Structure 1
Amino acid sequence: GKGSITVKQKIWRHSVGNGRPGRNRGPIGYIVAKDCHWRMLRGLIIFRYVMAITMAIEQSAESVSAHRPIVVLHGFGSSSDQMNPIVESLRSAFPSTYVIALTCLDNGKTVFSIDLQVELLAQELRNDPRLNTARGVDFVGHSLGGLIGRIYVHRYNSPRIHRFISIHSPQAGLHDIVRIEKYLVATAERRFPIERVFGVGWDTMAWRAASGALTAVLGDQASTTILNQFQSHSALTHQYLHQRVPVLNDLLATSAFFQGFDHLDPATRARQRKNVEGLTLLCLVKGDDDEVLSPSNTAHLNSAHDPTSLFVQFGYKTLLDSGRLIFANHLVGHSSNELMNNPNSIWESELVPYLNDFE
């Protein structure tokens, strides 16, 4: 009829505010969409602002307190698992720090040549994105692991090692391996108590255990050869180890400062010196009761204070004069177990604090 309102008019009146003056705000759909848009935009702006502040605070805190990763490398005849007490000790001291026992020399690879072991170390550091960063790492090397780490510094040091602790390491080579032979046998005897199984005497049992310790690396045939040859005495042991364990040859054949490994190419001397002098700290630790290293002073580089030695030419004197080279010693034996459990050990009191560097 004349006074009736069509459906279209009802919709329009509802949309514009029932037709009352001052209430014409446009279609409701437009108002709702516009309001939602501004609410979302305002929320996004606030979110981004809060996140920017949070990230700035976190980055600032990280730059002040975050610790570089710490890597631990085991020695001859050992494994990454046996470094767990050291790793756990460091994790306890530095709870927010990434600490890892390197696995590059596991499965008997410590019998390989020093050259090859250094390459394996370099590969693991480069291939782990948590270690291969501009921040670099701090390094703890036990026994042979300390020597491998030092030569890595000379040759590459990329990723960079900043703080370096070398514990009971043959840094200047060995005069002989008689102590190592005895240590291998004693270690094998503890790990492979087979006397009860085979019913053999101590000598045979010891050599059988030693062969078992080396079988994984040298193979079953070599192990059988050991059993056949080592029934009587260690003269053949000495000869066999020389022939079949490259790292022992390396340790015996090189000069007092490892010219054969650190300094093959005189053209690289400047770079090597720069790498060494780039260390924030180098701590060389000697065990005064070390039953393996001969001489035990190899842990201190032997000729460390000789002004005419390569010690000077390759930057170690610079470290010493600037207080960044530390010679430490304690009344303990060679093993990592001695390091962690002997009451005379300076591990917790002196060595761990050397790694307390939040740069």
Structure 2
Amino acid sequence: MRGAELLRLIAAQVFLHATMAGMRLATPLLALQQGYSAAAVGVLISLFALTQVFLALPAGRFADRHGLRRPLALSVVAASLGAGLVLVWPVFPVMCVSALLTGGATGATVIALQRHVGRAAQSPNDLKRVFSWLAIAPAAANFVGPFVAGLLIDHAGHVPADLLSFRVTFAVMALMPVVCWLLVRSAKEPEPTPLPAGAAATRAWDLLREPLFRRLLFVNWLQSSSWDVHAFVLPILGHERGLGASVIGSILGAFAIAAAAVRLALPLFANRTSERGVILTSTLVTASLFCVYPLLHSAWAMALCSVVLGFSLGAVQPMIMSMLHQITPHHRHGEALGLRLMTINASSVAMPMLFGAAGAVIGIAGVFWIVGGVVAMGSHTVWKLKARRSA
């Protein structure tokens, strides 16, 4: 895939994903301003991920049948409609509908774009390269969306955070997906992969019969859970250590910057690394850091640990995506991506509740150590991974 085309697809994902990220900031703030409780706001925020759990598999199948442009067109309509509805009716029930629409559109976009760039890659090294670049898009979008929304909420109205400023914010969020469509409408579709002769009807769950796919999904879940536990438990650990909110936020920010930076560097080393080698190294480093983290009391030491963990976990997703495209049939890439996204989002919904309950019983340090032990045991599964090019 040419660099210019890949850059255009990355920018397209940034614009659509930024709509969800901006709405995820703006709608809770408006709901709180209207007097809704923190519990209601928590439900609102969870709705952004809910549709990605249930729509991931249908979106994957749809992408397998129709390629890139049709799924992207529907996602653009859904995301613009979601933001536009709140622009017209800025009330809580409509905010919930908007969360479902923009969240679902973002998930479908991720699947369609990942499938497209994976199909366009010419070799395993090319897979690692393109997925390293594409993995930068969510990080960029999670900065652009809230940053633009925050600026507009504070400065687009007569006074900060009045209803006019929120309406202007929602209008800008509704226009961002249109830019996404302008960027992808001329994208060249790879030739469709015909179904194997005599192939019977399949279900996405059939993919789990393949041991290598099961192992890859399990390893991906381990890494995603590590990411979730760090984001969820670090603020609690920092509070126990007496750190201020700005210090805790800086430590989490250092993690995010490191995760994005390693993805910028990965394409330079794609030819000299193997997927299994990177994932195994990340697994061992992550397990070690989780064992050390609860023993740290200095903010600087925790920040250093956070940076190293960001490098470790940030390197994994491009390798996972590269292997997934090599071990699944071409005509089922969308289904495989949908199954992966469904698993990760379901885990992200459930894991914080589990971590919170475990922390109340065994303490925050115990949560780190248990997760670190589980990740370390998962290294045996990582060792069994071996990528192969699938037909």
TM-score, normalised to structure 2, is 0.22
- Higher alpha-carbon Rg: 1
Q: Higher helix proportion, which one?
A: 2
Q: Higher strand proportion, which one?
A: 1
